[in-house]
Amino acid sequence: MITRFFLFILVLSSISISAQDKGTFSGAFETNANVFIRDSSINAINTPQYNRQIFGGEAWFNLNYSIQGFTIGARFDMFNNSNLRNPTGSFSGTGIGRWYIKKDIKNLEISAGYLYDQIGSGIIFRAFETRSLFIDNAIYGAKVKYNLSDNWNVMAFVGKQKNAFEVYTGNLKGARLEGFVNLGSEEKPVTLAPGLGFVNRTISDENMAGVADALRTYQNADRFSPNHNTYSTSVYNTLSFAGINLYTEVALKSKDIFYNPFAIKTEIVGASLGKLEQKAGSVLYGSLSYAKGKLGVTAEAKRTENFSFRIDPNQRLLRGLINYLTPLNRQNTYRLTARYSPAAQDISELAYGLDVRYKFNKNISANVNYSDITTLDGDRLFQELFTEVIYKYKRKWQLTTGIQFLTYNQEVYEMKSEVPLVKTITPYLDFLYRFTPYKALRTEFQYMETKQDFGSWMYGLAEFSMAPKWSFEISGMYNVKPKKANSKGVIEKTLYPTLGVVFFNDAQRYSLRYVKQVEGIVCSGGICRLEPAFSGFRFTMNTTF
């Protein structure tokens, strides 16, 4: 039905093409393909792909068309023995993953279909897509946006949340008012960008039945009378003046049903059991940044209490997320410095972050980043001190080096009981040398010293690029002081190699890699999940047009 409707719209558009302008087509294609090679020495076993399927992959094809104020789009999604939805399982499915229609009529914009948007920083609502984590929280419904003036607009939406090729049964409604105010002069501008948002989530009777079934198993002291409706509101503003930007947001949520995985402490030290609770929630968030001349400073703070907000309270992990909580830790890119990354906590979190950058001259710059995250009761979750110095010698070579000190709570972030806090010290070095404007060699060296989890690591990488077409890489991650046994019960030093080649052709990019990868956390913007070890080949291809 949806496909026929979309084709009908395209036919109507094609009729108007012959009579007037031709409009504009744009699109993108992306695919991933994995060949799984069983390897018990690194615990790359016991999933459907390793046991029998051997192959798994995904593909997305976007197509957009604009003409006479209309924008029409569709996306074909394919999952074939994919481990994106569940890293230890297999998911297959094909279909229209998204379609939408948007029309601009003077000051009015109307949209229908699968829609993406957010309110403020996303604390009470964010419909977004993160393919690497199988997150596609589009709203299947309708949205209107009206420009009240050049500086003020109002938006409202209603619909259901996307769930792969289906939708969740609960309902969402929301509205947003945003503006821009200039209080200063041309010489000394002072601007405000205020906003106000509101979201209502209604639990379906089907999902409420699941809540009722769970409550029947609870003791009387833990039972409650569940609410079908939850209301959340957010007030936010950006103040800009003389190189200073201050963003503040306050979000409140009425009593809501959510699953608290740490609600019940057990007799086992460090272990907890979860249960459904119904409590009001709040988030306070602020970010202050200053940039002038050679100096740049950003300071952030966030307090989160009982702000798990899902379309269905029976869902777990990354399923059914309505909102998005901004992470305050640094988003690291090097293999070992990014190995232990924290997911933003929605039940209890008090987080601070400070980032200072300074450019001494055209050759030397430095960066110091500090983040500290605890529960509201003061229990340590995460702490990181990251330093970086960059030295550039003309256009010939560049050296990046620094050290990271980190503390990480595996009990909370990876739900592992009876494990100590992971404490690491990781020096790193990145050297880029340009032989010619088109040929360059980049090398990395990192060493992680830790007595917890898998133990200490060494990592090295060499990447040779021949612009604009080719890039070749070889890397290895070596468990030099192992602490954890493999599936055979043996503690031994293990090498995890990667060999890869990347080919570029205009807007096309192809990559093929042989990979052995240790079990670890995969994060994107503060949203994380634990992935098992991987052994095999990975092919990716993407293009835009």
Q: How far apart are CA 281 and CA 157, in angstroms?
A: 23
pLDDT band at 15 (very low <50, low <70, confident <90, very high): very low
Query: 313 pLDDT exceeds 60?
Result: yes
Mean pLDDT (the chain, rounded): 92
Q: Tell me the per-residue pLDDT of 422-450, one tens digit each, with 9 for 90 and over.
A: 999 999 999 999 999 999 999 999 999 99
**Positive or negative CA dihedral for 500, 399, 342, 457?**
positive
CB 172 within 8 A of CB 166: no
* Residue 170: predicted pLDDT: 93
Domain boundaries along the sequence of the chain: 106-289+304-321, 327-545
Q: Residue 323: what are its φ and ψ, rounded to 5°?
A: -115, 180
State pTM to two decimals: 0.90
pLDDT band at 335 (very low <50, low <70, confident <90, very high): very high
Q: Which two tokens stand for residue 369?
A: 């980043």
* Residue 19: predicted pLDDT: 44
Q: How far apart are CA 117 and CA 195, in angstroms?
A: 14
Farthest CA pair distance, the chain: 76
To which H or E segment does residue 48 belong? Answer: helix 48-48
| DSSP-based three-state secondary structure for 396 | coil
Segments in 377-473 forming alpha helices (H): 410-413
* Residue 7: predicted pLDDT: 54
Residues in contact with 417: Cβ distance below 8 Å, sequence separation at least 6, in sequence order: 268, 270, 271, 272, 411
**Residue 212 region by backbone torsions, left for phi larger than 0, else alpha for psi between -120 and 50, else beta:** alpha
* Residue 2: predicted pLDDT: 52
Q: Calculate what percentage of the chain has a pLDDT beyond 90.
A: 84
* Residue 272: predicted pLDDT: 65
**CB neighbour class for 505 (10 Å; exposed up to 12, middle 13-18, buried from 19):** exposed
pLDDT band at 266 (very low <50, low <70, confident <90, very high): low
CATH 2.30.30 fits 327-545, yes or no: no
Q: Tell me the per-residue pLDDT of 204-226, one tens digit each, with 9 for 90 and over.
A: 999 999 999 999 999 999 999 99
Q: Which residues, in sequence order, are bridge partners of residue 237?
A: 194, 248
Query: 274 pLDDT exceeds 90?
Result: no
Q: Tell me the per-residue pLDDT of 455-509, one tens digit each, with 9 for 90 and over.
A: 999 999 999 999 999 999 999 999 999 988 776 677 889 999 999 999 999 999 9
Q: How far apart are CA 326 and CA 249, in angstroms?
A: 11
Average pLDDT for residues 126-133, to the nearest whole number? Answer: 94
Q: Out of 70-84, 142-156, 261-275, pick the least confident.
A: 261-275
| DSSP-based three-state secondary structure for 214 | helix
End-to-end CA distance of the chain: 28
Query: 102 pLDDT exceeds 60?
Result: yes
Q: How far apart are CA 520 and CA 457, in angstroms?
A: 13
Q: Which two tokens stand for residue 381?
A: 């979750």
Within 13 Å, how many C-alpha atoms sit on residue 121's CB side?
A: 21
Query: 79 pLDDT exceeds 80?
Result: yes
Within 13 Å, how many C-alpha atoms sit on residue 324's CB side?
A: 22
> Position of tokens 């690497």?
132
Where does 306-363 show beta strands of DSSP type E?
348-359
**CB neighbour class for 360 (10 Å; exposed up to 12, middle 13-18, buried from 19):** exposed
Q: How far apart are CA 401 and CA 393, in angstroms?
A: 14
Kindly report the number of other CB atoms within 10 A of residue 68's CB atom.
12
> Residue 387's closest CA among 341, 458, 337?
337
